[in-house]
Chain A
Amino acid sequence: MSLDLSIPVLVVDDYQTMVRILRNLLKQIGFTDVDDASDGQAALEKLRAKKYGLVISDWNMAPMTGYELLQQVRADAELSTLPFIMVTAEAKTENVVAAKKAGVNNYIVKPFNADTLRAKISAVIGS
């Protein structure tokens, strides 16, 4: 499956170390246009200012969780179809179901590696 590595990707996580790791993994995969946001509100502002092709967001953030960010993205007419991947440390069934209902495109449970990340991204935006 081929991936368009030129699409802009937004990484959202309030844990800067994880942001840097994700950015590096995306760079290893070959993505060239990667931005980040440290909370949901900052993410929304970036998403409204630039056309992104993919969002990879952590679930556990404060004050706005990744789940709440997803809900806001899906409620925004301009962003409603934006591919959205959620990263979470917990594989609780209720969380997966809630995220699916809210319109998440894929779900990554920690810990993960570059292959998992690539496979999940490919499943969402691959052609």
Chain B
Amino acid sequence: MNAFAFKTAKVLAQETEFITVTVAGQLLGLPIGRVHDVFVVNEMTKVPLAQVEIAGLLNLRGRVVTAVSLRSRLGLQEECRVGRRMAVGLECQGEAYGLLVDEVGEVLKLKSDDMQPNPVHLDRRWVSLSQGVHQLKGELMIVLDVDAVLSFEAGRDAA
């Protein structure tokens, strides 16, 4: 491997792509390796007595996908939204989830070395769902820990 190729490989190895989403105006990033789809939620079935984070179930041709509200996971009030809802398709321990977000943004490729620890003043609930932050131009992107976001019981125990 020549010097240029080695340098390029090193740079590529240190970069991570994030699918960006926004919730209540906050920019959040999901590692692209954990995301398998972005889709519009059309119909959702409410689940009686389900945890508040479970927005409902999506039955898609016999495949049940659990819709999880990222707003609720972050401790934010649900917004009365009319019209389409966007969801990010994720999997955790063999289960399919649709993470409901306000908007899905672009894909950002960021250097892993640039990720910083969570700010000390960040809400504890948010800290428990975050791997760290990226300081972008005039904006902070919180990197979500997908496993933590989809582990309700663990979050509840910790709360």
Q: Are B32 and A112 in contact (CB under 8 A)?
A: no
B33 and A110 within 8 A (CB): no
Count, chain B residues at interface, CB 8 A: 23
A111: Cβ under 8 A from any B Cβ = yes
Query: In chain A, residues 19-36, which have Cβ atoms closer than 8 Å to a Cβ of chain B?
Result: 20-21, 24-25, 28
B106–A17 CB distance below 8 A: yes
Which residues of A are interface residues toward B (Cβ below 8 A)?
A: 15-18, 20-21, 24-25, 28, 89, 91, 109-114, 117
Asked if B19 and A111 make an inter-chain contact with CB atoms under 8 angstroms apart, the answer reads no
CA distance A44 to B139 in the complex (A): 39
B96 touches A113 (CB 8 A): yes
| Chain A to chain B contacts (Cβ below 8 Å), 18 pairs | A15-B38, A17-B105, A17-B106, A17-B107, A20-B107, A21-B32, A21-B38, A21-B107, A24-B32, A24-B35, A25-B36, A28-B33, A91-B61, A111-B37, A111-B39, A111-B87, A112-B36, A117-B36
- The answer to whether B32 touches A20, judged by C-beta atoms less than 8 angstroms apart, is yes
The 3 closest A-B pairs by CB, nearest first: A111-B89, A111-B37, A20-B107
Q: Please tell me if the beta carbons of B33 and A24 are within 8 angstroms of each other in the complex.
A: yes
Nearest chain B CB to A27 CB, angstrom units: 9
Contact B106 A109 (CB under 8 A): no
Chain A: interface secondary structure? helix
Do A112 and B104 form a contact, CB below 8 Å, given A20-B32, A21-B19, A91-B61?
A: no
Question: Which residues of the partner chain A approach B36 to less than 8 Å between Cβ atoms?
Answer: 21, 25, 111-114, 117
What residues on B are CB-neighbors of A17 within 8 Å? Answer: 19, 38, 104-107
Q: Given A17-B104, A20-B32, A113-B91, list of 12 further CB < 8 A pairs?
A: A16-B106, A16-B107, A17-B19, A18-B37, A21-B36, A21-B37, A28-B33, A109-B60, A109-B61, A110-B37, A111-B89, A117-B36
Question: A18 touching B38 by the CB < 8 A rule?
Answer: yes
Cross-chain contact A21 with B35 (CB below 8 angstroms):
yes
Residues of B within 8 A of A89 (CB): 39-40
